[in-house]
Each structure stands twice: as structure tokens, then as C-alpha cells.
Amino acid sequence: MKGINKIEVTNQSDSVALSKLIDTLGEITTHRTNRLSSSSEKLSFLLIQFVIILSILVVFIFTMLPIEDIAIRFLLNGINIFAVVFIFIIIWDLSNPFRGAWSIRNEPYQDLLRKM
């Protein structure tokens, strides 16, 4: 924005380019505002409960499968429980964009500004 304010229009093509640049910058700031407002939204309590109940149901159903070998049954249930818990952790992490492993941070943006 600071750079755009310093541009001086000397001819008609500069005016057209500056107009397009200002429109593009307006779109960028609109997208940024939309992303920031979307990042403040969390998963609803009902949706979290739905995921938890379905996860428990899936684990329970896999436990009830008629598998005679106890080692295979434990292995299958262990893998299933690991997958369900890992998926739930990913959903929870994505629901909290400013915390966790997959989060939005300011450092990459500041690095880009310093390089420019």
C-alpha cells in the first residue's frame, strides 16, 4: 500500500495500470479480511460431539467383528483407534488456526517483508 501511494501517474497507461493495481489490492485485502473472520470460527459443539460418537461407534463395531485370532483383533483395533484419534486431532487442530501444529503464524510474512 505504501508503494502504491508513492506511484506518480505520468501518462494514460500509468493511470490504467495504477487503477488495476488498486483494484487488485482491494481484492487482496477483502480476501484477507474474509480469512481472518473465518479463522475465528470454531467447530460447533454439536459437530464435535457427532465426531466423537461416530468414532466410538466405529471402534465398537470393529471390536465386535468375529475375528478368532486375538492378536489380529488387537492389531486391527489398535490401528483403528490410532486412525480415529489421529483424525480427531487433525480436525481439532484445524479448528484452532492460531494454535497447534498446523497454525497461522506471522513470522513467514515478516520474513517476506524483510526480503522485499
Write out pLDDT tens, residues 46-62: 888 998 899 899 889 98
Q: Give me the helix-helix angle, 70-95 and 45-63, nearest 10°.
A: 170
Which of the four pLDDT bands, split at 50, 70 and 90, describes residue 19? confident
Percent with pLDDT over 90 in the chain = 10
Q: What is the pLDDT of residue 71?
A: 92
